Amino acid sequence: MTRKLRDFEGRWRLDRTIEDAKTGGQGRFEGEALFEPDAHGLRYTETGTLQLEGQPGFTATRTYLWRADPAGVAVFFDDGRPFHRFDLAAQPEATHWCDPDHYAVKYDFAQWPDWSARWAVTGPRKDYVMTSRYVSATA
């Protein structure tokens, strides 16, 4: 079944792991993601606790704008700058270049309504994999 932007609307439990190949360190984020309708699509806001190895946990938040796109979904930073686009019907993956770093994401909707996003980030000072798992909190 092909997903639509509105299928993401609502509250999701979010569990994220971060595996840093450069340092060998690990991190974990536990919290929630909320997809709320706005005038142009959905506003994605995540809030939770980020625990990086060897450091005290702290509250972390981020916001993105998800918009319907002819190919599926266009994701923007909260200030409106483009982030990436992905196809909900075919291979849901995308890349983003943030000089000098390369970000590549693969979404997995096979176990819907549970889903995940796996980011591989490489660059001169970065080499990590960040896997986010979403479970519907409104189902």
Residue 71: per-residue pLDDT? 79
What are the backbone angles phi and psi of residue 34, rounded to the nearest 5°?
Answer: -120, 125
Q: Compute the distance between CA of residue 108 and CA of residue 115 in angstroms, rounded to an integer.
A: 6
CATH class label, 5-133: mainly beta
pLDDT of res. 89: 77
Cβ distance 41 to 14 under 8 Å? no
Q: Consecutive sets of 10 residues in the chain, 139 residues long: mean pLDDT of each?
A: 85 97 95 97 98 94 96 94 90 92 96 96 96 89
- pLDDT value at residue 88: 87
Would you state the pLDDT for residue 2? 66
Task: Print burial letters for 71-87: b (CB count within 10 Å at least 16), e (below 16).
Answer: ebbbbbeeeeeebbbbb
The Cα 29–Cα 45 span in angstroms is 14
d(CA 73, CA 88): 7
What are the residue boundaries of the structural domains of the chain, listed by start? 5-133
Question: Residue 26's pLDDT is what?
Answer: 96
**Confidence at residue 138, expressed as pLDDT on a 0 to 100 scale:** 72
Q: What is the predicted pLDDT for the residue at 73?
A: 95
Amino acid at 83: F
